[in-house]
A and B are shown apart, each in its own frame.
Chain A
Amino acid sequence: DTGVSQDPRHKITKRGQNVTFRCDPISEHNRLYWYRQTLGQGPEFLTYFQNEAQLEKSRLLSDRFSAERPKGSFSTLEIQRTEQGDSAMYLCASSLRDRGDEQYFGPGTRLTVT
């Protein structure tokens, strides 16, 4: 257990529905990252926050995706109008500022869109 928690662990939803995932990072970590991982691939960067500021977003993060970290602690990732191609593991990681090489991952949320 790295100290990063994610909820829910599994989510099954129908195409077109909205889903929201939560990540609670290690408490002293001010950087928080979201990744997506599909079968047989490594995690792909989606976005990251330093405290409450969202500093970078990948082109993978379409308009249907939005992430927030309102108080610089936990973060949420929302996917609107889900598509079957959104089925993946969504991973959250956290690190200290300026230690992007030392990221600690949560267990992930596995999303299945039917």
Chain B
Amino acid sequence: QKEVEQDPGPLSVPEGAIVSLNCTYSNSAFQYFMWYRQYSRKGPELLMYTYSSGNKEDGRFTAQVDKSSKYISLFIRDSQPSDSATYLCAMSEGTSYDKVIFGPGTSLSVIP
């Protein structure tokens, strides 16, 4: 079993839809959870980071962490064609322990 699992997709939604992206993990020591967006042939771009359980909102993006279920989610409201990219979840045990483990990514297409 991989440490971080993510449905690879591809996920295709119409413009304006609410998108739900999810990751599960096995290491209960993970405390920091990040979401990155990666456009084709580009480096990953940090979208959001959260500590421990709970929700965090930033514009159209909401990150949720449920440590009891070892499950994290990213919701995108009012999705736009410019949101079409691969979304990577990532997590680490702490900010001073710098080994970040990435999921394989979910490919998202938002159709105009």
A residues touching B (Cβ–Cβ < 8 Å)? 2, 4, 31, 33, 40-45, 48, 55-56, 91, 93, 95, 98-108, 110
Contact A42–B105 (Cβ < 8 Å): yes
CA of A44 to CA of B55 in the docked complex: distance in angstroms?
27
What is the interface residue range for chain B against chain A? 20 to 34
Contact B45–A101 (Cβ < 8 Å): no
Contact A91–B44 (Cβ < 8 Å): yes
Contact B46–A42 (Cβ < 8 Å): no
What are the residues of chain B within 8 A of A91 when measuring CB–CB?
43-44
What would 15 more interface pairs be, CB under 8 Å, given A42-B103, A42-B104? A4-B43, A40-B8, A40-B104, A42-B6, A43-B102, A55-B98, A91-B44, A95-B98, A100-B32, A102-B34, A102-B49, A105-B45, A107-B42, A107-B43, A110-B41
CA of A93 to CA of B88 in the docked complex: distance in angstroms?
15
Contact A100–B103 (Cβ < 8 Å): no
Contact B97–A100 (Cβ < 8 Å): yes
Q: Separation in Å of the A2 CB from the closest CB of chain B?
A: 7
A-B pairs with beta carbons under 8 A, tally: 71
Given A42-B90, A56-B98, A56-B99, residue A105 in contact with residue B104 (CB < 8 A): no
- Supply 28 A–B pairs (Cβ within 8 Å), ascending by A: A2-B43, A4-B43, A31-B98, A40-B8, A40-B104, A40-B105, A41-B104, A42-B4, A42-B6, A42-B103, A43-B88, A43-B102, A44-B102, A45-B99, A45-B100, A56-B99, A93-B43, A100-B96, A100-B97, A100-B100, A101-B32, A101-B51, A101-B92, A101-B95, A102-B46, A104-B46, A105-B45, A107-B43
Q: Which of B6, B98, B102 contacts A100 (CB 8 A)?
A: B98
> B68-112: which have CB < 8 Å to A?
88, 90, 92, 94-105
